[in-house]
Amino acid sequence: MQPQADPFIVPECHDEIEILYRDEALILLNKPSGLLSLSGKHPENKDSVHFRLVQRFPTCTMIHRLDFGTSGIMLVAMNKQINAQLCCQFSERTVSKRYTALLHGHLEQDNGVIDQAIAKDKDNFPLMKICQQTGKPAISKFRVLERFTQTPEASFYREDKRAGERSVTRVEFEPVSGRTHQLRVHSQQIKHPILGCDLYASDQAYFMATRLMLHASELSFDHPLSGERMNIVSPSPF
């Protein structure tokens, strides 16, 4: 029996990919929210970061992904040899990543560490869950940047009665590990889900934003050819 194609058809993304840096070895880009990192199984889900890039750079290969709703920095190798070198840095955790997120409610702590193992939720694909027994270790550091009350003038505001209380905390996340949906699951675990998250947020938090309020804002790694430490920043759009 042939596997069925994913029935979910993603909305068309009209935003362009912004190239932040490019040389003979790699590309650093800014992915818009609402664009797949890789093309989906369904033929109508062809549009993606990879699909667009290979039109211009046929030998480029993906090293990591960002969720469909997440915007921000992605690192792409120009060939398989560079890909292997960069993947080693990710696996050895010498790559530093920082994200900006808007969380529902006001966090009491100004900073902290979330240390909760994450496993696949086999009963609720594609969700992940906290499970100390079967999950893989997952650690996320966070630092509060701002606490505020959302107003109707905010560009990400969704006018919906289900949004309820509109207190918001802007945080900087630094994931030590790189598990699937890690920041989204960890935010839910501390009872301050990411605004606009369709998988892990309450109705209140989901209906407060028109998109997932998570942005990959900083990436640091060693250039595979020169060895120079690269630090790329993409300011959060929210």
The residues assigned a catalytic role are: 67
H-helix segments, 115-212: 182-189, 203-206
Q: Measured between alpha carbons, how far is 236 from 234 in angstroms, rounded to an integer?
A: 6
Q: Measured between alpha carbons, how far is 198 from 175 in angstroms, rounded to an integer?
A: 21
Q: Measured between alpha carbons, how far is 1 from 174 in angstroms, rounded to an integer?
A: 43
Question: Strand (E) positions, 9-149?
Answer: 18-22, 26-31, 61-62, 71-77, 96-104, 111-115, 118-120, 128-130, 139-149
**Short-list 237, 197, 206, CA closest to 73:** 237
- Residues 6 or more apart in contact with residue 8 via CB below 8 angstroms: 40, 42, 45
